[in-house]
């Protein structure tokens, strides 16, 4: 399934209160929403750049995916999310191409979207997400 565009770029940050002013003051973007995604153990802050979002990710638990990432690699680009019409179908297609999935089936993500991840070990070292209905 071909993605329609980059839905968002996820960026791991230590502290939203420090990171948000950078995006607002230096880049002139407006943070339009902050959300706690309990399932993913993160607080997210969103900015829109054209039709693509920047999603800042602050960990709420050192044992969560972003907490572990920051501990190991520090702040930085965490994942790329591709917009697809049907997340379940995109995951199935990737799996049938031999990609190792993190999510066998879609789960709820930020902004009410249905999300599913592929493992960075089978995508050339980049954590990739499908994001859609």
Q: Which residues bind ligand CMX (CB under 6 A)?
A: 10, 37, 40, 42, 44, 55, 57, 65-66, 68-69, 72, 78-79, 102, 109-110, 117, 119-120, 125, 127
We find the least distance from the C-beta atom of residue 4 to ligand CMX, in angstroms, to be 18
Indicate the residue among 25 and 72 with the shorter CB distance to ligand CMX: 72
Q: H/E element holding 33? A: strand 33-37
Indicate the residue among 27 and 38 with the shorter CB distance to ligand CMX: 38
We find the least distance from the C-beta atom of residue 127 to ligand CMX, in angstroms, to be 4
Indicate the residue among 24 and 39 with the shorter CB distance to ligand CMX: 39
DSSP 3: -
DSSP 86: -
Indicate the residue among 3 and 120 with the shorter CB distance to ligand CMX: 120
We find the least distance from the C-beta atom of residue 97 to ligand CMX, in angstroms, to be 19
We find the least distance from the C-beta atom of residue 114 to ligand CMX, in angstroms, to be 12
- Sorted by sequence, the CB contacts under 8 Å of residue 35 that are 6+ apart come out as 43, 44, 46, 110, 111
Tell me if 9 sits within 8 A of 80, measured CB to CB. yes
DSSP 64: S
In angstroms, the Cα distances linking 59 to 13, 42, 73 are: 8, 4, 14
């Amino acid at each position: 399934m071909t993605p329609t565009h980059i839905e968002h770029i996820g960026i791991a940050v230590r502290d939203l209160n420090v990171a948000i002013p950078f995006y607002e003051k230096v880049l002139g973007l407006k943070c339009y929403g902050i959300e706690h995604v309990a399932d993913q153990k993160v607080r997210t802050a969103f900015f829109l750049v054209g039709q693509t979002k920047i999603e800042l990710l602050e960990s709420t638990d050192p044992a969560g995916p972003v907490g572990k990432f920051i501990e190991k690699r520090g702040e930085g680009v965490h994942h790329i999310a591709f917009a697809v019409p049907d997340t379940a179908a995109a995951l199935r297609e990737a799996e049938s191409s031999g990609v190792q999935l993190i999510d066998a089936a879609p789960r709820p993500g930020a902004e009410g979207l249905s999300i599913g991840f592929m493992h960075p070990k089978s995508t050339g070292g980049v954590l990739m997400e499908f994001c859609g209905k």
